[in-house]
Amino acid sequence: NRTTPIGTSDALRIEEPEEPKNPFASPLDSGIGHDKNLIFFYQPHFIMAFVAGAASLGWMAYYNNGSDSIQNIKLGVVGMCFAFLLYCSLPTPVPNSAFMRPHPVVWRVVTGASITYLLMLVFTLFQTAHDARVLFTHIDFGLVRAAALIGEAAGRPKNLPERSYAEQCQVYTGGKDCKLWANLAAGETPCFKNVQETLEDEFVLAHVLGWFAKALIVRHAGAAWINSVIFEFLEYSFQHWMPNFAECWWDHWVLDVAITNFLGIYCGHLFMSYFELKTYRWMRISEIKSTAGKVSRAFFQFSPQRWDSFSWHALESPRRLMAVLLLYFIILVADFNAFALKFILWVPPRNPLNVYRLLLMWLLGLMASREFYEYVVNRQVKRLGHHPWLAAMILITEVLVWLKFGLAEGQWSKPFPRVVVVGWGVAAVVFAGWFAHHFHVVPARLRSLASPRG
């Protein structure tokens, strides 16, 4: 569903160049001009580079278990150089994104910021948990409130008690004179105290905004909502490690899934529907006579130039389904990493670092999902792309950071509860059975019915 911008006249019409069949084409994609026995070495291998890079970083970081801070800093610098050179080895570094608004330079800066964040993560990976926490205590933006500061002071990290949301799960707590929504500061008695305290938590707004953002990444309301349901099961599975994941049943399924997550996804769906159906008429600012028109045109420079919907068709083929499940998995890892890093590095929930990290991953995710979608549905696209590679590399490095620090301190020593292991095992068996039936048994029956009888 693409529309061509239409001007008020032919003189004002701004024609867009036709999009090539492969919007991310590169001369290296085909290996033309090289010996047929050496084509392999001249073609892009994003997945191979990712596997090799992640394995190398993991091996180097876990091989280095020393407590010598100076040696760890040196190794961290070497690791940063390795990660940067690995990215530079990919074909056509820092390509133009498919996004053009408000200006292509904005998305290049996002790419640069993502590379910088990856290098910071790699450096942190080579430190001890204590040294990493000490390093983070020196990050002070000057405007951070005392409750959001990392540590007691610079160089003095402080462990943070994780809040559990499953201690008071009673829904109705009021008496005769209770109020539906009470002023707790004035001593009023609420009818639903536990529910009200949960709604006043900062994570409620974070749920709405977060799933609005993820809906724009997936570009499919149903897929985003399914992903939100899976994340609630993920919280059930890991609450024995992180108390912050422990919630009441009504918090999981009513406040999260049915209200806040649904509201964010629905707003994202309305946002996408508006821009998908909109008729775009872009005029040059210099051609607009009125001041109000110029201001309006400048404001809409920050809106999409056009909006393309994603049609994943997950049940069309096993490859499509695996691609959608991989996208689900990546989003779940990105969400889980936000909590795990905060937990293991002792970063307060209200510290701006959490917001900056989420904002950067969202902007990078917009570009990465666009390229990943083309890689899945467009047969002309033969390579994964820089932004999906960069996003995956950041996520796997984040996993290595919290996994290494947690193992060193015994944070992940508690075994998974039996109900969690059995539950996911049953889900895997059911999925495998459905997969075989849908993609093998049903097509075989259809072919046998369509074949002429002997």
Predicted confidence (pLDDT) per residue in 268-327, tens digit: 988 888 776 554 444 455 556 566 655 555 555 555 556 667 777 888 889 889 988 999
Predicted confidence (pLDDT) at residue 210 exceeds the cutoff of 70: yes
Nearest residue to 44 via CA among 392, 377, 375, 396: 375
Please give the DSSP secondary-structure letter assigned to residue 18: P
C-alpha Rg value of the chain to the nearest Å = 25
Predicted confidence (pLDDT) at residue 201 exceeds the cutoff of 70: yes
Whether the Cβ atoms of residue 254 and residue 229 lie closer than 8 Å to each other: no
Token reading at 445: 């029956």
Token reading at 367: 């570009």
Lowest mean pLDDT among 120-129, 163-172, 424-433: 163-172
Residue 180: per-residue pLDDT: 87
Residue with tokens 């599975």: 237
Residue 435: per-residue pLDDT: 94
Average pLDDT of the chain, as a whole number? 81
Whether the Cβ atoms of residue 297 and residue 285 lie closer than 8 Å to each other: yes
Give percent of the chain above pLDDT 90.
Answer: 39
Residue with tokens 């070497």: 78
- pLDDT-derived band of residue 13, with 50, 70 and 90 as boundaries? very low
- How many helices (H) does the chain have, and how many strands (E)? 15, 0
Q: Which residues pair with 179 in a beta bridge?
A: 190
